Amino acid sequence: MTIRKVLNVGGGNKSIAIPDCFQGWQQDLLDIDPRGNPDIVCDSREMTRLPPAIYDAVYCSHNLEHYYRHDVYRVLAGFWHVLKADGFAVIVVPDLADLMRTVVARQLDIDDFLYDSRMGPIAVCDVIYGFATEIERSGHDFYAHKTGFTQQSLVKVLQTARFPEVFGKSENLNVVAVAFKQSPNDEQRRLFNLPPSARAVG
């Protein structure tokens, strides 16, 4: 039986759960911060130095926004590099459009409380600029946010990065996108509840 492999990019440590769709998969953790004991200590912008086409999937949650927009394309080129021909990437980033709607609807100021997370209380400014407590505690500015996305803009960035089939949705102040190197097969369509005929959806 072939074991499918997922590369968790910027996941911090393996105690942080990844989506159920990867249950039973081998997870390799890649992170720039060695404190979480990653399998691969690496800046996400340097992933093209890894062996090519060895992962069935890439999972990247709340990492892409930590790079300047021009460097985002270097990270995505790394995703493309390590993925097999039928591979895909699942990407989660803060949804700035949903954030702005929430701020207006709740009449929040930039330092106001937004929600509780596993890391502690999150303020509006944490979503925009990065979690201030972690930046201060770690002493590393790579935890700061250097760009941001909406559902539409993330889909566009992924398409520009050569992923021909991209599906995006907004949920709980996040954008979740699934990007395929080629048209998803039947198993992948069932896994992500995609329509029979794949097309880019922003």
For the chain, report the end-to-end CA distance as a whole number of angstroms: 36
- CA–CA distance from 52 to each of 47, 74, 87, 112, 159 (Å)? 9, 15, 12, 44, 20
Instruction: Write out the two tokens for 9.
Output: 């990019």
What does residue 159 show for φ and ψ, rounded to 5 degrees? -65, -40
> What is the number of domains present in the chain?
1
pLDDT (tens digit, 0 to 9) for every residue of the chain, 202 residues total?
789 999 999 999 999 999 999 999 999 999 999 999 999 999 999 999 999 999 999 999 999 999 999 999 999 999 999 999 999 999 999 999 999 999 999 999 999 999 999 889 999 999 999 999 989 988 888 899 999 999 999 999 999 999 999 999 999 999 999 999 999 999 999 999 998 754 445 5
Residue type, 201: V
- The verdict on residue 202 lying in a domain is no
Domain range holding 10?
A: 5-94+148-191
SS3 (DSSP) at 125: helix
Per the confidence metrics, is the pTM higher than 0.85? Answer: yes
CATH number at residue 24: 3.40.50.150
- The verdict on residue 122 lying in a domain is no
The angle at the Cα of 86, spanning 94 to 199, to the nearest 5 degrees, equals 60
- The verdict on residue 18 lying in a domain is yes
- The verdict on residue 14 lying in a domain is yes
- The verdict on residue 155 lying in a domain is yes
Q: Which residue has the tokens 């048209």?
A: 183
